[in-house]
Amino acid sequence: MVAGAVAVLVVSRIVLGTAAVLLLGSATVPAAAADPGPEQQPRQNPYEGDRSRASQGKSLFNQYCSHCHAPNAVSPDPPKDLRRLKLRYGASMPDVFYFTVTHGRPDKGMPNWQGLLDEQTLWTIFTFLQSVQAQP
């Protein structure tokens, strides 16, 4: 039932002209996302390195994100190629990811996924993205 409700919301957003993108459309993000500040510790993925979780994340990514970011995060469009997040954001990658998916990128057509996908789902998708990062 939850997946159906999410699908209806995603379709609604697409119909309203807001493409349902999961992640970062370009290299510019608000400073708050890249620098968590002295009172906030950098975010860490609770599932980092968990291969089983990465496999689950791949499936979730393809369900929720691939319509804008291409299947398996392999996009021919460099700004949407999510295999380059680590190269773009380095150690800030978890913070940028979390900020982006919980606040959206309205200027790029990306909705806010907070409340639609729970924390476990978001970090499971991120685990998959960590597993496909390009090497410098």
Domain boundaries, the chain: 2-131
Mean pLDDT on 12-40: 42
Tell me the Ramachandran region of residue 73: left when phi exceeds 0, alpha when psi lies from -120 to 50, beta otherwise.
left
- Give the model's confidence band at 134: pLDDT under 50 very low, under 70 low, under 90 confident, else very high: confident
27-54 confidence digits (pLDDT tens): 444 444 444 444 567 889 999 999 999 9
- What pLDDT, on a 0 to 100 scale, did the predictor assign at position 40? 65
- What pLDDT, on a 0 to 100 scale, did the predictor assign at position 14? 36
The mean pLDDT value of the chain amounts to 78
What is the rounded distance in angstroms from the CA atom of residue 95 to the CA atom of residue 40?
Answer: 11
Inform me whether the pLDDT recorded for 6 exceeds 50.
no
Q: Mean pLDDT: which of 40-49, 52-61, 64-73, 101-110 is highest? A: 52-61
Question: Is 116:6 a contact under the CB 8 Å cutoff?
Answer: yes
**Residue 66 corresponds to which tokens in the numbers above?**
């691939």
- Give the model's confidence band at 79: pLDDT under 50 very low, under 70 low, under 90 confident, else very high: confident
Looking at per-residue confidence, does 122 or 35 come out higher?
Answer: 122
What is the rounded distance in angstroms from the CA atom of residue 81 to the CA atom of residue 77?
Answer: 6
End-to-end CA distance of the chain: 42
Mean pLDDT on 52-76: 95
Q: Which fold has domain 2-131?
A: Cytochrome Bc1 Complex; Chain D, domain 2 (1.10.760)
What is the rounded distance in angstroms from the CA atom of residue 9 to the CA atom of residue 85?
Answer: 27
Question: Is 109:19 a contact under the CB 8 Å cutoff?
Answer: yes
What is the rounded distance in angstroms from the CA atom of residue 40 to the CA atom of residue 43?
Answer: 9
